[in-house]
Amino acid sequence: MVNRSFFYGEGLFETILYRGRTTKLLRHYRRLSESAKYFHMPCPDFETFCVKIEEKTKGRKDLYVKVCLLSYGKPRYYEMPQKTELKVFVYRYLPKLDSVRVCVSPFLRHSSDPIARHKTLNYLFNIMVKRQAMQQGYYDGLILNETGHITECSSANLLIVKKGTIYTPHRNSGLLFGTTLQSLMEKVKVEETQLTLKDLFDADHIFLANSLIGALPVSKVEDTIFKIDQELTKYLQEVLQEENTV
């Protein structure tokens, strides 16, 4: 039996701002288990998931925790996984409180790509997007699909605000529907729609969203400057904090 995560990138992971057994932690587990089912990977129950994390965090909170579900099975690439193993990695959480600059990535994603909809260990595309953006002096790159619609960044969903309405790229554009975005959409009105670069540059405000950054304002896309709405930023962050509090 071989480690298929090592051989083929067949595996899943969750990136968590850990604060105990919160509603947000359960949301992370549900996404992991749903993706495991999709890829025919055995998945431990929620109690096992929590205990594994607690063994590593040792009562500490406000930590950056990465949980990986590794796949094991026969060595041929097309074989089904036979068993899995949870691995937990703990890091110091360093919040990013200021705004960021992003660019439009030259790398395109096809909207029908099934891998894009899951948080897998097959992460090379995302790595290339992030590296290319950082080499140009940006925090991250916005990924377009084959029809020119915006999907997401390498590790965050996108929110744009226009005339008081919050929009996010439609999941059918080909993206990972993040746990932070999901949480926000259950509490705040966010319209899911196909977005173009014109929509982006016509926006009043832009945010990136994921578990570690919350809702992070974007101050610049390429050469275009965007205003930071401090009141809206504070409100979105407070809404997101509610679910990740014991």
pLDDT of 108-137, one tens digit each? Answer: 999 999 999 999 999 999 999 999 999 999
d(CA 139, CA 134): 6
What pTM value is reported for the model? 0.94
Q: Roughly what angle, to the nearest 10 degrees, separates helices 46-57 and 23-38?
A: 120
Q: List, in order of start, the domains of the chain with CATH numbers.
A: 2-92 (3.30.470.10), 100-243 (3.20.10.10)
Inter-residue contact 207 to 217 (CB < 8 Å):
yes
User: CA 222, CA 102: separation in Å to the nearest integer?
Assistant: 6
Q: Could you say which residues of the chain have pLDDT below 70?
A: none
Specify the pLDDT at position 246. Answer: 73
Per-residue model confidence (pLDDT) at position 22: 97
CB neighbour list of residue 186: distance below 8 Å, 6 or more residues apart: none
Burial class (CB in 10 A: 0-12, 13-18, 19+), 2: middle
Residue 109: per-residue pLDDT: 97
- 8 Å CB contact between 241 and 16: no
Q: Beta-strand (E) ranges in 113-223?
A: 140-145, 150-152, 157-162, 165-169, 190-193, 205-210, 214-221
Write down the pLDDT at residue 27: 97
pLDDT for 97 equals 73
List alpha helices for the chain, DSSP H. 4-8, 23-38, 46-57, 124-135, 179-185, 197-201, 230-243
* pLDDT score of 96: 74
DSSP 18-75: E-SS-HHHHHHHHHHHHHHHHTT-----HHHHHHHHHHHHTT--SEEEEEEEEEEE-S
Contact 150, 195 (CB under 8 A): yes
